Chains A and B, each alone.
Chain A
Amino acid sequence: MLWWQNIPFFSIILFLLCAALSSVLRHRAARNLTLGLLGLCLGFSAVLLIRVSLPEYTTFTFMMGHFPAPWGNEIRCGPLEALLAAVFSFIMLMALSGGDIRLEEHLGADRENLYYVVCDLVMAALLSQVYSNDLFTSYVFLEIMTLAACALIVSRTRGRTLVSAMRYMVLNLVGSGLFLLGLVLLYDQTGHLLMENLGDAVFSLYLTGLSRRPLVVCVALMSIGLCVKSALFPFHTWVPDAYAHGTPSSNAILSSLVSKGYIVLLMKLYCRVFGWDLILTSGIDRLLMVFALSGMIMGSLRAWRETHMNPMVAWSSVSQIGYIYLGISLGFGVGYTAAIFHLMVHAAAKSALFLTGDRLRVVSGHSSHFGDLRGAGRKAPLAGAAWTAAAFSMVGLPFTGGLISKILLEQETLRHSPLVAAAATAVLALSTLLNVMYFLRAVIQIWAPPREEERKALPRPGLPFALAALGLTAMTLGLFFFSAPLLNLISAGLALFI
């Protein structure tokens, strides 16, 4: 085993250790430890990515213990997993460093370190979803992510966040219950928990033709469970309140990262466990497509009606999750590549929107109503520019990553049946139009000349905020300019993902 093949394992374990340690440290120490570990993880994931991609794409497994799988646990890493780990650590680093460091007013003086404990647990759970090769391990870390994300929602404890946290927990627990039931049924039929063995057993069961219905039931239960947890329409009702009213870091982490872990697990299930033949037989791809297309329209319509910035951005998340699921339903290959690319685009843009949006709100007299945000961009140019770039990416304008994923999705829909192509194209066009309407409306409002020329002393942004805003904008632009090598990497990684 080469030294860099230990990186996935160490990433997960170090975050778990850091979570336990942060619970006894003070606020500053916990924050520095978490940020340091995130930087370390980012660096090592980049090294790992280089090692598994050059000179050729390889994948390896790491045996957790002295017993080979299926008797022991196992994690697996290839180019795609390394890329996702690097992206997630980068986004989390930017979100935490760019957010409000003063948590006392939200949490209370001796509880601030718990915020970083929870962030470490979210990161450990995310990495585990990316790397894990065992279904039950994925379920356990799924639950960690659910509980830790609930803590992020109530980090700013108001009535609204409590209600949204309750709604979030109810829906997420229904999703977990359905997922666990599907897992139990799958174990009953195959006797395996390791994904590769599961895939072989499911494939041989599928070929016999006898036992299709239980397999289809498993596919349905696990897919619906994960769709509920990742807030696909019509299971999105908890999203706007949960995403919009926490601290800026919480909003960024929740919208960019938490739902993505579930989507990565779903893709892994479809690739490694179920196989595309079973997915097509069950018809779940058509159901996902219907939900995705409806979500794209519904999310955008509701976002258009919002008059405050954060709820508008939260509703647009519902729409963007629809794009990712459209990619998944279009099939293994270009569809999945587009889904993963849009996952990264959305993660970067949403974090930027929430972090810089908070700064715009601060310079507008602490109001996030669009009427009061007029001219905010001129008072805080860095935040305004970053918000604008992220908004353009969500719309899909040139020079931002969002354009690439929309082009890919459109190209792939044209290869399907005429009905699918027509419906998807119409919905993509309508959704883009709606995105333009509400995002550009907001951008114009931000850059319009402010109403009164007041020379109030505005709080200056700190260096971490400036670096976070620049970093996220760089990622948004970089996803466009480096799209070709990235797409190659993703496709090659997907081929090895199975």
Chain B
Amino acid sequence: MADLRRLFSLNSNDSSLDEALKRDLEEDQHPEDSPLSAREVSMHASAIRREEASMQRREEKAWVLSRRAYQVLSVLTALIIISVLLLNILDLPLFGEADNPTNNEVSARYLEYGLEEGGAVNLVADVILDYRAFDTLGESNVLFAAACTVILLLRRFSDAEQVHGMPEPLLLEEAPSDPLLMAAARLLVPVLLLFGCCIILNGHLGPGGGFAGGAVLGSGLILYLNAFGDQRASRVLTFRSFRILSASALMFYALSKAFSFFCGANGIPLDLPLGTPGSILSAGLILPLNMAVGLVVCCTVYAFFTLFRKGEI
């Protein structure tokens, strides 16, 4: 609870700021620069403090005034934007009408022929994984880009290397194993994993799909990690296996869809077996693509959790 409160409050204790200031002065120089002597550092730190004290009163008044002006301006801008958009709604098509512009020949074809052309009973799965598969490929890569950036930011360095200046990422202490949690996890984790797989495999038959199923799978793995600790969880998924799984799933998606796009554009017929609608093995490429997407999402969701928690996967 105290942690939560700290999250929502602003400053921590001020005494650490001076140390932070001193450290920052030294750190911000380039590695090959000659380091500042301790005397220069303390001279400069005290010079900054003197200057700050003398200008503080003037600055504070000006700052409070500009802060007020900024707040008033922000609220006014938001109000103007809301009112313009609300007035705009009056000119937009009505909610729920069947003859809205959005219900045109594009959606009509999806609704009428989606089952025959895509093979999936879930027409939304047809839309995102068959008709507009390129958008979904892009979307998987958005998740991948975010995962790469979070790894760049949060992954701990091994002991052998030391990047100049930056302190180590946060390492939250592993909570002692809780028997209640472990008992509940023994029941829940298999159910969660099974449920996630079920959502993925039935993505083309009902609501669900790779993204939803992958999120459930990921949360099952997160519960396992929380209940049974880092040691056992790292046997399930390591950094290396995370990279290989994500990369291969993405490459599978890109290659299979690239082949499909290439054939389509060049007029090469590609008769994928569509199966009988309603059975699990149907809908051509949609099922494998759902599985690939589910794998990527599961790995990424789990990776986000472990990177935030301990800086490692």
Q: Is A in direct contact with B (CB under 8 Å) within the complex?
A: yes
Q: Is A28 engaged at the interface, CB distance under 8 Å to the other chain? A: no
Interface presence of B30 (CB below 8 A)? yes
* Beta-carbon contact of A189 and B141 below 8 Å: no
A108 lies within 8 A of B163 (CB): yes
Known: A63-B264, A158-B28, A187-B102. A137 touches B135 (CB 8 A): yes
User: Which A residues are CB-close (under 8 A) to B88?
Assistant: 185, 213-214, 217
> Of the candidates B141, B152, B165, which one forms a contact with A19 in the assembled complex, judged by CB atoms under 8 Å apart?
B141
A117 neighbours in B (Cβ, 8 Å): 148
In the bound assembly, the distance between CA atoms of A366 and B137 in angstroms comes to 43
Q: Which range holds the interface residue count of chain B?
A: 35 or more
Contact A154:B261 (CB < 8 A) given known A114-B148, A136-B135, A137-B138: no
Q: How far is the CB of A267 from chain B (nearest CB, A)?
A: 21
With CB as the reference atom, state the residue of chain B lying closest to A73.
B134
User: In angstroms, how far is the closest chain A Cβ from the Cβ of B272?
Assistant: 10
Chain B contacts for A187, CB-based, 8 A: 102
Report B-chain residues with C-beta under 8 Å of the C-beta of A181: 85
B155 at the A interface (CB under 8 A): yes
CB under 8 Å from chain A, chain B span 243-270 = 243-244, 246-247, 250-251, 254-255, 258, 260-267, 270
Cβ of A353 under 8 Å from chain B: no
The reply to whether A118 and B145 form a contact with Cβ atoms under 8 Å apart is: yes
Please, which residue of chain B has its CB at the minimum distance from the CB of A72? B131
CB <8 Å contact, A151 and B148: yes
Considering only residues 86-139 of chain B, those with a C-beta below 8 Å from chain A are 87-88, 91-93, 100-104, 106-107, 109-110, 117, 130-135, 137-139
**Does A16 lie within 8 Å of B141, measured CB to CB?**
yes
Interface SS of A by simple majority:
helix
Are B132 and A72 in contact, CB atoms less than 8 angstroms apart?
yes
Does B6 interact with chain A (Cβ within 8 Å)? Answer: no
B166 at the interface (CB under 8 A from A): yes
Could you tell me if A154 and B152 are in contact, using CB atoms closer than 8 angstroms? yes
Check if A9 sits within 8 Å of B164, measured CB to CB.
Answer: no
A1 engages B163 (CB within 8 Å):
no
CB distance from A363 to the nearest CB of B (A): 12
User: B31 contacts the other chain (Cβ, under 8 Å)?
Assistant: yes
A470 at interface by CB-CB < 8 Å: no
Is A211 on the interface with B (CB-CB < 8 A)?
A: yes
- B161 part of interface (Cβ distance < 8 Å): yes
Distance, CA A155 to CA B260, complexed state (A): 36
Instruction: Give every chain A residue within 8 A of B100 (Cβ-Cβ).
Output: 188, 191
Interface residues of A in 204-223 (CB under 8 A from B): 211, 213-214, 217
Is B144 interfacial (CB 8 A cutoff)? yes
- C-alpha spacing A159/B28, complex, angstroms: 8
Given contacts A16-B141, A140-B138, contact A188 B92 (CB under 8 A): yes
Which residues between 261 and 313 of chain B lie within 8 Å of chain A, taking CB atoms? Answer: 261-267, 270
> Nearest chain B CB to A107's CB is how many angstroms away?
7
Q: Answer yes or no: B7 CB below 8 A from chain A CBs.
A: no
Q: Which of B102, B134, B142, B243 contacts A64 (CB 8 A)?
A: B134
Q: Which residues of B contact A201 (CB under 8 A)?
A: 101
A114/B247 in contact, CB under 8 A: no
With A155-B152, A191-B103 given, is the CB distance from A62 to B109 under 8 Å? no
Docked CA distance A70–B110 (Å): 11
The segment from A141-149, A297-305, A330-338, A341-349 found at the interface with B is A141-149
B51 within 8 Å of A (CB atoms)? no
Q: Mark A348-389, 1 if CB is under 8 A from B, else 0.
A: 000000000000000000110000000000000000000000
In the bound complex, do residue B152 and residue A114 qualify as a contact, i.e. CB atoms below 8 Å apart?
yes
Name B32's closest neighbour in chain A (CB-CB).
A366
> Which A-chain residue is minimally distant from B252 (CB atoms)?
A20
A/B interface sample: 22 pairs, CB < 8 A: A9-B262, A17-B258, A24-B244, A65-B134, A65-B261, A71-B109, A73-B135, A104-B161, A109-B161, A114-B152, A144-B145, A150-B149, A154-B152, A157-B163, A159-B24, A159-B27, A188-B101, A188-B102, A191-B100, A191-B104, A214-B91, A366-B33
Q: Apart from A144-B145, A367-B33, what 17 extra A-B contacts exist at CB < 8 Å? A: A9-B261, A13-B258, A24-B244, A64-B133, A71-B110, A71-B131, A72-B264, A107-B163, A111-B152, A114-B148, A114-B151, A151-B148, A154-B149, A188-B92, A191-B104, A213-B87, A217-B84
Those 8 A-B pairs whose CB atoms lie nearest each other, nearest first: A140-B138, A191-B101, A66-B264, A20-B250, A151-B149, A147-B145, A73-B134, A191-B102
